[in-house]
Amino acid sequence: MGFICRNFGHKWKDCQCVRCGMMRSEGHAYHATDNPCVQICSNCGSRKATHDWEGPGCIKTCRVCGVSDGFPHRWKYQGGHVVCSVCGETKHKLVYTIQNCPVSELCCEICGKVGGTNDGTDYGCDFIKEPCLPKNGAKK
């Protein structure tokens, strides 16, 4: 910030001070882009998105431009299941196949995947990252 702006204040033109070049988060001069949901400020390049999200569960799609929100389910282990902490969808249903200390083993009743739980986590093998497909290979 320059001497004049420090003592007398900024002289704003949209989102930028014409004296010192400082940017602010208001007064942007937005203009349209190729994407009907995104606008860009012609002064500073700031982007503003106005998506109209729709869709079941966690994964949403913009009804105007078709982009996905990019925020998939947030999986966690809860009560013998791997469930989404946001929408409640279940991915794996886990049961103990071996329960001997210090090694235990879990198996998913849906896809048949097996994993140990002696690695410091309560779901053993990474059931959270792996997809769950029924044993016959069809999508559930």
pLDDT tens digits for range 35-44: 899 999 988 8
Whole-number percent of the chain with pLDDT over 90: 6
Are 81 and 132 contained in the same domain? yes
Spatial CB neighbours of 123, under 8 Å, sequence gap ≥ 6:
77, 82, 94, 106, 115, 117
Range of the domain at 102: 74-140
pLDDT average, residue stretch 102-119? 70
One domain, residues 90 and 137? yes
Q: Name the band, by pLDDT with cuts 50, 70 and 90, for residue 2.
A: confident
Are 13 and 45 contained in the same domain?
A: yes
> For residue 138, what is the enclosing H or E element?
none
Instruction: Please give the backbone phi and psi of residue 4, each rounded to the nearest 5 degrees, phi first.
Output: -65, -45
Q: Is the pLDDT of residue 139 over 50?
A: no
Per the structure, the count of domains in the chain is 2
- Tokens representing residue 113 in the block: 């995947």
With a cut of 50, say whether residue 21 has pLDDT above it.
Answer: yes
